[in-house]
């Protein structure tokens, strides 16, 4: 299958994409991919540097006749989201991504694909290695840790780049030119609780919620997909109201920027038969509610050994109530801009077991005051649990500047090439442009890319024909970059 992908057009992009997808590159674990990129730049004889954060910067002089054009920064991030299906046997730490072609799409077998943002990285590599592509002076910026904190962009120092135009290759619809994005903040709820032994004679059950669609917690938060953490909590809350159940553990979700697809809970109960009946009932309820967005949803209960400890009764009630009350999904839409989410929260991960609990959220907003308001609402949801609530990883939004000349040039060029208007707008996901712009004020920035669907989930896929369209468009953009003032 890898050979089939390497033979796709344009071959340079698909070959470099295959190369980097053979390298594990989780956020905060980019040492191998950083070393690979540094070796790549050096092998081309180009000025190559790695800054203190681990970002790689490769500079390429203009092609013949383009020396007087403005320098362009081409930017993508090196890390990828590592997500896999529960039944997929795969170790991201040592294995490369198993890719295959399905019609007009490249997909991965049971894992995320890494097209976000590997296709952008491979595209820039193709420009750097090419000898026959007209282009202005290029500064290629490959950042690290975009997916879990944007620390690469945050720690990028001013003065390293000379370019006044930045093309970010991290948008996931090929008819969209992104000129703004939301900011975000990580909200973490931690605490401890007392445990007790379950009621004598109780049976143990593992309750599993699987098969949800998941996805990107910014780009796809408005699609109404199920959040495994919220649904598992809903089931447990209602079981508690009706039956005698005692919770041993709850574990759901993994990454802040991914809508959680799976959750598992272990309980003890003296109402074994009734628990089975209730789970069957809730399975039908949830499948009916989410039949459009999460058609493969499955809730089941399987008998297991009785746990040695369970939540203390008061904590169990308070914790389930807190998660129930915690905001999730869309908080507010953007007034005056149809379809654009302004503020949202993703309850991304819940882990409660053995006397300790943590809840991790990613709160996004294009309005800083509203982002703070939502984070405060989350904080207050957990007051009864005596939890410690901390805010970290905050990053700013990217304010749209629709009058920048590069935006008009690229919009006009899109219309000319594809006989239709590009969508010029902002998105609810986080992009590094707002952060980079803080250290490089006045830099014109725009983001675009090929069609990538299902990012941050094992359904991630990239469209082959769209990559070809994106490549053709980028090559024309580089020809149209204006001269130096």
3-state secondary structure 245-283: EEEEEEEECCCCCEECCCEEEEEEECCHHHHHHHHHHHH
Q: How many CA atoms lie within 13 A of 203 on its CB side?
A: 14
91 is catalytic: no
pLDDT tens sequence for the chain (485 residues): 578 999 999 999 999 999 999 999 999 999 999 999 999 999 999 999 999 999 999 999 999 999 999 999 999 999 999 989 888 999 999 999 999 999 999 999 999 999 999 999 999 999 999 999 999 999 999 999 999 889 999 999 999 999 999 999 999 999 999 999 999 999 999 999 999 999 999 999 999 999 999 999 998 999 999 999 999 999 999 999 999 999 999 999 988 999 999 999 999 999 999 999 999 999 999 999 999 999 999 999 999 999 999 999 999 999 999 999 999 999 999 998 888 999 999 999 999 999 999 999 999 999 989 999 999 999 999 999 999 999 998 888 898 889 999 999 999 999 999 999 999 999 998 899 989 998 899 899 999 999 999 999 899 999 999 999 999 999 999 999 999 87
Q: What is the pLDDT of residue 337?
A: 82
pTM flag (> 0.95): no
> Nearest-5° angle of CA 350, CA 353, CA 355?
120
Place of tokens 């995320």: 112
- The whole-angstrom separation of Cα 34 and Cα 315 is 45
Q: What is the pLDDT of residue 2?
A: 75
Q: What is the pLDDT of residue 399?
A: 86
Domain ranges in the chain with CATH number 3.40.630.10:
2-181+397-480
CATH H superfamily, domain 2-181+397-480: Zn peptidases (3.40.630.10)
Q: What is the pLDDT of residue 108?
A: 97
Output the six-digit token pair for 176.
């969209």
Q: What is the pLDDT of residue 149?
A: 84
DSSP strands (E only) in 86-200: 99-102, 105-108, 138-143, 165-168, 176-181, 183-192, 195-196
Catalytic residue among 30, 79, 278, 460: 79
Domain ranges in the chain with CATH number 3.30.70.360:
185-395
79 is catalytic: yes
Residue 138 CB: number of other CB atoms within 10 A? 23
Collapsed DSSP state (helix, strand, coil) of residue 227:
coil
- The whole-angstrom separation of Cα 393 and Cα 123 is 29
Fold (CATH) for 185-395: Alpha-Beta Plaits (3.30.70)
Note whether 394 and 184 are within 8 A (CB).
Answer: yes
Q: What is the pLDDT of residue 1?
A: 56
- CA of 76: how far to CAs of 61, 68, 135, 198, 287, in Å? 19, 25, 18, 52, 38
Preceding amide of 176 cis, omega within 30:
no
Catalytic residue among 139, 146, 278, 432: 146
- The whole-angstrom separation of Cα 104 and Cα 469 is 13
* Nearest alpha-carbon partner for 144 in 42, 19, 256, 36: 36
**Residue 299 phi/psi, 5° resolution?**
-115, 125
């Amino acid at each position: 299958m890898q050979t089939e992908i390497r033979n796709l057009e344009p071959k340079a992009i698909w070959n470099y994409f295959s190369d980097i997808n053979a390298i594990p590159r989780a956020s905060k674990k980019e040492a191998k991919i950083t070393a690979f990129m540094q070796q790549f730049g050096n092998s081309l004889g180009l000025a190559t540097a790695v800054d203190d954060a681990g970002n790689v910067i490769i500079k390429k002089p203009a092609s013949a006749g383009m020396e007087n054009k403005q320098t362009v920064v081409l930017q993508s991030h090196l890390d990828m989201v590592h997500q896999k299906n529960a039944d997929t046997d795969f170790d991201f730490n040592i294995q490369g991504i198993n890719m295959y072609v399905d019609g007009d799409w490249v997909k991965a077998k049971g894992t995320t694909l890494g097209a976000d943002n590997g296709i952008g990285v491979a595209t820039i590599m193709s420009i750097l290695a090419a000898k026959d592509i007209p282009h202005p002076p290029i500064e290629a910026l490959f950042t690290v840790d975009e997916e879990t904190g944007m620390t690469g962009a945050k720690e990028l120092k001013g003065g390293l780049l000379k370019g006044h135009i930045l093309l970010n290759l991290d948008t996931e619809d090929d008819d969209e030119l992104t000129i703004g994005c939301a900011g975000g903040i990580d909200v973490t709820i931690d605490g401890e609780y007392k445990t007790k032994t379950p009621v004598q004679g109780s049976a143990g059950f593992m309750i599993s919620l699987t098969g949800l669609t998941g996805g990107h917690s910014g780009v796809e938060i408005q699609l109404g997909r199920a959040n495994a953490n919220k649904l598992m909590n809903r089931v447990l809350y209602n079981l508690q109201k009706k039956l005698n159940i005692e919770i041993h553990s709850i574990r759901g979700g993994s990454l802040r920027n991914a809508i959680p697809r799976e959750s598992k809970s272990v309980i003890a109960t003296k109402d074994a038969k009734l628990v089975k009946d209730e789970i069957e009932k809730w399975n039908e309820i949830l499948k009916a509610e989410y039949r459009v967005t999460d058609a493969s949803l499955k809730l089941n209960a399987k008998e297991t050994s009785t746990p040695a400890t369970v939540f203390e009764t008061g904590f169990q009630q308070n914790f389930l109530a807190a998660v129930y009350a915690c905001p999730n999904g869309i908080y507010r839409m953007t007034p005056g801009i149809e379809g654009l989410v302004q503020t949202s929260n993703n309850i991304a991960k819940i882990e409660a077991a053995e006397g300790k609990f943590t809840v991790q959220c990613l709160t996004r907003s294009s309005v800083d005051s509203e982002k703070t308001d939502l984070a405060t609402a989350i904080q207050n949801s957990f007051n009864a649990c005596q939890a410690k609530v901390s805010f970290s990883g905050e990053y700013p939004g990217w304010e749209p500047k629709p009058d920048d000349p590069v935006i008009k040039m690229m919009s006009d060029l899109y219309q000319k090439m594809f006989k239709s208007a590009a969508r010029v707008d902002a998105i609810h996901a986080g992009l590094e442009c707002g952060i980079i712009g803080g250290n490089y004020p006045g830099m014109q920035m725009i983001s675009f890319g090929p069609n990538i669907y299902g990012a941050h989930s094992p359904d991630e896929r990239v469209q082959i024909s769209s990559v070809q369209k994106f490549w053709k468009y980028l090559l024309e953009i580089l020809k149209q970059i204006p001269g130096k003032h």
